[in-house]
Amino acid sequence: MDDGDLAGLIERVKSGDEAAIRDLIQRFESDVRTIVRVRLPQSLRSQFDSMDFVQAVWQSVLTKDGQDLGRFTTARHFRGFLEGVARNKVYEEFRRRTRTRKYSVQREEPLYVRRGDREMPREVAASDPSPSQDAQARDRFAQLVAGRSPQEKEVVDLRLQGLTFEEIAAQTGLNERSVRRIIEAIRQRMEARKWR
């Protein structure tokens, strides 16, 4: 693309011409995709498609920096700018994932492991309670609601299922304040027994 064509195209993009925006993206997308693929660390390749970053680059260029597009006088200058934005997008995501414990790529493990000449699924710990934990929870529940009316037991059970006070009141026909009172009494019993 010659530099005169770029200036005209950018003016049309700045005016909001949809066809010009598509044309600009089409002309420079392969350059952006190439720099993303080159810069994308191996640890992120299983989590992202390079097009995720390409789209983020164009979103940034056409929304935040769209007013500044007129500063590019040559295709080479514009291509260098796009490459810088792409490099920064990849670096920011990599840094975010390696610095925060929640997204740390070093903590990830593959779902399959090689054993001899075969790939075997890795054993993954279930988030469900173990049978002994389940039995303990049922025992504690029985101790907490011992001596309570069937309606109070139902309130506690519904709360354990995750229902809100309003939902429990609607389902049981009790006043919301009564539901809160029942749950508060159970909470106090748990504290007295030092249960969490």
Q: Rounded to two decimals, what is the model's pTM?
A: 0.47
> Is the predicted pLDDT of residue 145 greater than 60, yes or no?
yes
CATH classification of the domain holding 171: 1.10.10.10
Number of domains in the chain: 2
pLDDT attached to residue 6: 80
Q: 87 lies in which domain range?
A: 3-106
Give the HSE-up count for residue 85: Cα atoms under 13 Å, Cβ half-sphere. 23
Question: Could you tell me if 143 and 92 lie in one domain?
Answer: no
> Distance between CA 193 and CA 196 in Å, rounded?
9
Question: Could you tell me if 47 and 83 lie in one domain?
Answer: yes
Helical ranges in 15-149 per DSSP H: 18-39, 42-45, 50-59, 75-99, 131-144
Q: Name the average pLDDT for the chain.
A: 79
> Is the predicted pLDDT of residue 80 greater than 50, yes or no?
yes
Question: Could you tell me if 7 and 102 lie in one domain?
Answer: yes
Question: Could you tell me if 67 and 159 lie in one domain?
Answer: no
pLDDT in tens, 19-71: 888 888 888 888 888 888 888 777 777 777 778 888 888 888 887 645 577 77
Residue 158 located in a structural domain: yes
Residue 76 located in a structural domain: yes
Residue 125 located in a structural domain: no
Max avg pLDDT among 20-24, 101-105, 137-141, 189-193: 20-24
CATH classification of the domain holding 94: 1.10.1740.10
Question: Could you tell me if 180 and 144 lie in one domain?
Answer: yes
